[in-house]
Amino acid sequence: MFVDTAKIHLKAGDGGDGAVSFHREKYVAAGGPDGGDGGRGGDIIFKADSNLSTLADFRYKRKYAAEPGERGGSGRCTGKSAPSLYISVPFGTLVRDADTGRIIADISDDKPVTVAKGGNGGWGNRHFATATRQVPRFAKKGNPGEELDVTLELKLLADVGLIGFPNVGKSTLISVVSEAKPKIANYHFTTLTPVLGVVRMGEGSSFVMADIPGLIEGAGEGVGLGHEFLRHVERCRLLLHVLDVSGSEGRDPIADFNAINRELSVFSGELEARPQIVVGNKCDLADEAEIKRISGYFTGKGYRFFPVTAAIAEGTKELISCVAEELSKLPPIKRYESEPKPVEDFTRQKKRGFSIRVCDGVYFVESCEWITDIMNTINPDDYESLQYFERVLRSSGIIAALEQAGIKQGDTVSVYDIEFEYVV
């Protein structure tokens, strides 16, 4: 089964929590805080695997989670960082953000790409020791790892794409000029999945050809398996448009050519402008006058036209020589550039937003989910820990906003599950 799209959920590892610990050793007075930092959570990394040709594995497993980092230990021991989780995909796989459609990575070479980063470990209590706070009884929790849904989309890496209506001889042609062995039969849609073949021109010279399953009218709008097939033409540097010049299906080859090109333009303006060479196949079944008429039409339009009989390899050598020559003039296979995160994403991460609501004399601090991680590190029975929490409230602007809202000495402030009296 050929699968070329999938949607999966990724969760990078959370960072380990920092430790609250104090050095205790015989004959050593006032050892002080020595809580270690938490370890870093595992990243999720995508890498290409030449042994894979489809995304079928992702139909059975849709959630991938890396391990969290270990908690910090006493004696300033940093927790162990978690190993990265590697996910193997076929060459030519695009990784997109499922929510925005943003291209995160194009896995088209051997270079691994980090898609979701693990969280940093939290600081141990030794980082919070100062001249006036010598016994900090709190530490920071580890940062959460990135979590997102991504879509995987396979776009074959091929130099040349064979396009045309069903049963025009594309599979026969690729089987003759390359080492590919597609299924060949005299009925429509014999080929249901793209087939890749390597065409060797001699020592150190070769190119990849893709047999794209037969397109039909409406393919550009998704009729049949149009989008699934056209997706694999997008990277091709050159298109071979195969026609049945014998008209054995009762269709006009010129009308077929124009119909397929309309579908290319509907699907993508770039595809419409892609260089094409026209291949007139099944010449053994057509008369000379018809071949001459079709050849004259395409040469008059500026296309290179090659009459061939793929079944007996007649005319294929000249065709492949022309293809190799054209490829030498064209840029390399298209690569998709990663798109940066929108500016608002970074702003949202850095800005500590909140809102103040007053109800029955109670001042509620809301819309500040970021503060919950800090509150989890606070020990309400420890004075220095509460001082640290107060500094967070002041540095984030919450105290100033409360004063602007009219808070007075002794009024109650509610921050999620914590309530306290406001003291000047």
SS3 267: helix
Nearest to 190 by CA among 177, 178, 173: 173
Q: Is the pTM of this model over 0.75?
A: no
Chain centroid to Cα 366, Å, comes to 34
Answer CATH for 1-154 from 3.40.50.620, 2.70.210.12, 1.10.10.10, 2.40.50.140: 2.70.210.12
Nearest to 370 by CA among 415, 306, 422, 320: 415
As a whole number of angstroms, the distance between CA 59 and CA 81 comes to 30
Q: Mean pLDDT, to the nearest integer, of 277-295?
A: 92
Q: Is the pLDDT of residue 327 over 70?
A: yes
Q: Other C-beta atoms within 10 Å of 227: how many?
A: 14
Q: Mean pLDDT, to the nearest integer, of 268-288?
A: 87
Q: Mean pLDDT, to the nearest integer, of 101-113?
A: 92
Q: Tens digit of pLDDT for each residue in 246-262?
A: 888 788 999 989 988 88
Q: Mean pLDDT, to the nearest integer, of 104-111?
A: 92
Instruction: Tell me phi and psi for residue 48, to 5 degrees.
Output: -85, 145
pLDDT band at residue 326 under the 50/70/90 scheme: very high
Instruction: Out of 24-33, 149-158, 203-212, 334-343, pick the least confident.
Output: 334-343
The third-level CATH classification (topology) of the domain covering 160-327 is: Rossmann fold (3.40.50)
Higher pLDDT among residues 414 and 67, named by residue: 67
Q: Tens digit of pLDDT for each residue in 13-59?
A: 999 999 989 988 888 777 889 999 999 999 999 999 988 878 888 98
Q: Other C-beta atoms within 10 Å of 231: how many?
A: 21
Q: Is the pLDDT of residue 1 over 50?
A: no
Q: Is the pLDDT of residue 100 over 60?
A: yes
Q: Tens digit of pLDDT for each residue in 214-233?
A: 665 543 344 444 446 677 78
pLDDT band at residue 168 under the 50/70/90 scheme: confident
Judge contact between 186 and 167, C-beta under 8 A: yes
Q: Mean pLDDT, to the nearest integer, of 303-323?
A: 92
pLDDT band at residue 344 under the 50/70/90 scheme: very low
Q: Is the pLDDT of residue 288 over 70?
A: yes
What pLDDT is recorded for position 212?
Answer: 80
Q: Mean pLDDT, to the nearest integer, of 128-135?
A: 79
Please check whether the domain covering 352-421 is classified as CATH 3.40.50.1360: no
What pLDDT is recorded for position 222?
Answer: 43
Quote the percentage of the chain above a pLDDT of 70. 88
Q: Is the pLDDT of residue 127 over 90?
A: no
Q: Is the pLDDT of residue 133 over 90?
A: no
Quote the percentage of the chain above a pLDDT of 90. 37
| Residue 253 burial (10 A CB sphere; 0-12, 13-18, 19+) | buried
Q: Other C-beta atoms within 10 Å of 101: how many?
A: 9
Higher pLDDT among residues 193 and 276, named by residue: 276
What pLDDT is recorded for position 389?
Answer: 82
Residue ranges, CATH 2.70.210.12, the chain: 1-154
What pLDDT is recorded for position 72?
Answer: 94
Q: Tens digit of pLDDT for each residue in 140-166?
A: 888 889 999 999 988 878 899 888 888
- Token representation of residue 198: 């390597």
Strand partners, 157: none
Number of H helices, E strands in the chain: 10, 18
Q: Mean pLDDT, to the nearest integer, of 349-365?
A: 77
What pLDDT is recorded for position 345?
Answer: 46
What pLDDT is recorded for position 342?
Answer: 61
As a whole number of angstroms, the distance between CA 391 and CA 397 comes to 10
Q: Is the pLDDT of residue 79 over 90?
A: yes
Residue ranges, CATH 3.40.50.300, the chain: 160-327
Residue ranges, CATH 3.30.300.350, the chain: 352-421
For residue 120, the surrounding DSSP H or E stretch is: none
